[in-house]
Structure 1
Amino acid sequence: MTHLPRTQLPPIKIRQADRERLGHLADASAETFPATAEFLAREIERATVVPDTAPLVGIVGMESEVTFRDDATGLQKQVRLVYPNAADIDAGRVSVLTPIGAALIGLSAGQAISFETPSGEQRSLTVLDVRGPN
């Protein structure tokens, strides 16, 4: 089943500490990964920021396990969203400093988002399930 890319951005939530750390990461990566760093910066800027003590049940945060569907292929994937130093694609650990990782942050089950790949292709994914750190 093929879905068209989404143009409207879904509302997202992130914790205050994650917003600060991700903001620093985006700034530090601006020269090395300009497009992804800019996308991540835009995502955290538009996010609703909640206190660090607030439970984010069902919302993708750092270290969350996420099952999502690639809307172009219909394939489902399960990944853990991590900081770049912990990334290991073979182990299913996706960096927040990748287009998919930056797209996932702050989403909840049922939400979809479009993003651009490094090759300039527009893609869309839909979050199916979120588990882990609340």
Structure 2
Amino acid sequence: MTMKAGSAKPRIILSAADHEKLSVLANAAATTLPEVAAELADELDRAHVLPAGRHPVDTVCMGCEVDFRDDMTGRVQTVALVYPQDADISKSSISVLTPIGTALIGLPVGKSIDWTTRTGESKRLTVLQVHDPVLAERQPA
């Protein structure tokens, strides 16, 4: 099965805070990780950015846990999407500056995206569920 590199990507949604921090991160990583930084910058360019103080619902954002399915294998994984300094694969925390992290950011539940691994392999994933511990902490008791 071949996938077109130009296949339409789903619309993504980001909070203003995530968009701002990720823009700075993409610029900072442009010299050390040019391919991933360029991919992140492309995602940021096409993102729908919510007004300040608004938070996307059922959408992958920084600091959240996400359940997703590898559509090639059917395997379901749960990971936390974090900034590079907080990444720890042994704790299932993946950096937004990885190809899969960049693919996940801003993706709503139920949406799928095609992405390319660092070895050039084409993959497709679908977001199944989003758990946002930051949002849960903000809810009144």
| Larger Rg, first or second structure (1 or 2) | 2
User: Match of 2:55?
Assistant: 55
Aligned-pair Cα RMSD in Å:
1.5
Question: Do the aligned residues in 2 keep the contact of 1:5 with 1:124 (CA within 8 Å)?
Answer: no
Cα distance in 1 for residues equivalent to 2:55 and 2:65: 16
The structure showing larger relative contact order (alpha-carbon pairs under 8 Å, at least 6 residues apart) is 1
Cα distance in 2 for residues equivalent to 1:90 and 1:4: 32
Question: CA 1:51 to 1:91, structure 2 compared with 1: closer, same or farther past 3 Å?
Answer: same
Secondary structure of the equivalent of 1:21?
helix
Identity of aligned residues (%): 46
Instruction: Tell me the matched-pair count.
Output: 132
Secondary structure of the equivalent of 1:120?
coil
User: Match of 2:78?
Assistant: 78
5+ residue gaps, structure 1: none
**TM-score scaled by structure 2?**
0.88
Secondary structure of the equivalent of 1:113?
strand
User: Which ranges of 4 or more aligned residues in structure 1 deviate by more than 4 Å?
Assistant: 3-6
Which runs of structure 2 are paired with 1:15-54 in the superposition (5 Å)? 15-54=15-54
Cα distance in 2 for residues equivalent to 1:88 and 1:70: 20
Q: Give 1:55 shift.
A: 2.9
Question: Do the aligned residues in 1 keep the contact of 2:15 with 2:55 (CA within 8 Å)?
Answer: no
Cα distance in 2 for residues equivalent to 1:31 and 1:88: 23
Question: Do the aligned residues in 2 keep the contact of 1:67 with 1:127 (CA within 8 Å)?
Answer: yes
**TM-score scaled by structure 1?**
0.92
5+ residue gaps, structure 2: 136-141
